[in-house]
Each structure stands twice: as structure tokens, then as C-alpha cells.
């Protein structure tokens, strides 16, 4: 008979909707105006509001691909952090994005990622990005993240401790 193992998550006190703590310490995310929509066990959904200065193809009004890369990389990183029982720093090892279509001009971009597998040293993530409907993504990704990339404490550690985790 298999026993269900209850997982504990270091960042559980921060789970929920609209949690800016997950991106406020990353200057690049701040520049893009990135917003945390929701975080939970092993998952994260982020949003980048459409702004004309993010357009990479002025003729068609399409957002620069680097914005999409940052959105999916950050969503994957946050999902990885939300899978950890002990908070450690992480770093992207590999990120592959397949673009399925162009994002629709003028619409906010959403990125969702799930850390579906974790070993002692690597988190494995899959995700997608969409504009109108999560069932019609314009990109999807697969990524790996190194756990414990530096000995420094994670920037969220103090906040978790303040919340009584």
C-alpha cells in the first residue's frame, strides 16, 4: 500500500493571488511591468501588461520576443521556488521556447509554469504563454533550473521568516 506523502513548501505563506513579492526583487521584471497573478504549490502565473515600448515589430505591433522569454523564464523560476521545501537560490540551466503563433498586438501577455519534477539539484519545468485564452497559447516552454546555485540566502528568505514559515 502506498502512503501519501504530504509536501511542505518553504514559500507557502506567500501563496495566493497578486503576490508582488515574487517579482519585486528582480529589476528586469519591474522594467517590464510584470505582475504576479497567482502562485501556489509548484505553479506560477505571471502577466506582462501590453505597452507600446515593448513592441519589437512596429509594423505589426508584436511584442519583442525577449519579453516573452523573460515572462516564461520568470514564471518557471517562480514555479521552481514554489516547489521547494527549503528556500535556496536558483539559476536557469536551460530554457527552450517554441513559438506557436504571434501574440496578438495590444493584449496583455500571460505566462504559466509548473515545476513537475524536482531532484536534489534540478527543477524541471513546463509552461505556456497566451494572450486571450490559456487554451490557445502562442508559445510553450520546457526548462531546467539549478537548485542551490549560490550559497547566498534567497532574497525571499527574510520575508518568509517574517510571515512565520
More confident residue, 153 or 63: 63
Q: Which three-class secondary structure string do you get for 85-105?
A: CCCCCEEEEEEEEEECCCCCC
Q: Return the CATH fold of 12-155.
A: Thiol Ester Dehydrase; Chain A (3.10.129)
How big is the CA angle at 6 (ends 24 and 82), to the nearest 5 degrees?
Answer: 15
Confidence of residue 131 (pLDDT cuts 50, 70, 90): very high
- CA neighbor of 20 nearest in space, from 7, 40, 38: 38
**How far apart are the C-alpha atoms of 23 and 33, rounded to whole Å?**
10
Summarised one tens digit per residue, pLDDT across range 47-91 is: 999 999 999 999 998 999 999 999 999 999 999 999 999 999 999
Confidence of residue 165 (pLDDT cuts 50, 70, 90): very low
Instruction: Quickly tell me which residue has 507600446 as its cell.
Output: 52
Report pLDDT for 100.
Answer: 96
Return the DSSP state at 62: E
Judge whether 73 and 92 are in contact, CB under 8 Å.
Answer: yes
Cα within 13 Å of Cα(80), Cβ side: 29
What are 63's strand-pairing partners?
55
What's this model's pTM, rounded to 2 decimal places?
Answer: 0.91
Report pLDDT for 153.
Answer: 79
Confidence of residue 164 (pLDDT cuts 50, 70, 90): low
Cα within 13 Å of Cα(126), Cβ side: 3
Report pLDDT for 65.
Answer: 92
Amino acid at each position: 500500500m502506498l502512503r501519501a506523502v504530504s509536501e511542505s513548501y518553504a514559500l507557502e505563506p506567500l501563496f495566493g493571488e497578486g503576490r508582488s513579492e515574487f517579482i519585486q526583487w528582480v529589476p528586469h521584471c519591474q522594467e517590464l511591468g510584470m505582475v504576479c497573478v497567482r502562485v501556489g504549490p509548484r505553479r506560477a502565473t505571471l502577466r506582462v501588461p501590453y505597452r507600446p515600448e515593448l513592441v519589437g515589430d512596429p509594423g505589426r505591433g508584436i511584442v519583442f520576443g525577449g519579453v516573452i522569454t523573460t515572462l516564461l523564464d520568470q514564471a518557471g523560476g517562480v514555479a521552481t521556488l514554489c516547489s521547494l521545501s527549503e528556500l535556496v537560490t536558483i539559476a536557469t540551466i536551460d530554457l527552450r521556447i517554441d513559438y506557436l503563433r504571434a501574440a496578438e498586438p495590444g493584449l496583455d501577455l500571460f505566462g504559466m509554469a509548473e515545476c513537475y519534477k524536482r531532484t536534489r539539484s534540478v527543477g524541471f519545468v513546463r509552461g505556456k504563454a497566451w494572450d486571450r485564452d490559456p487554451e490557445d497559447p502562442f508559445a510553450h516552454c520546457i526548462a531546467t533550473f539549478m537548485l542551490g546555485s549560490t550559497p547566498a540566502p534567497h532574497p525571499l528568505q527574510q520575508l518568509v521568516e517574517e510571515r512565520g514559515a
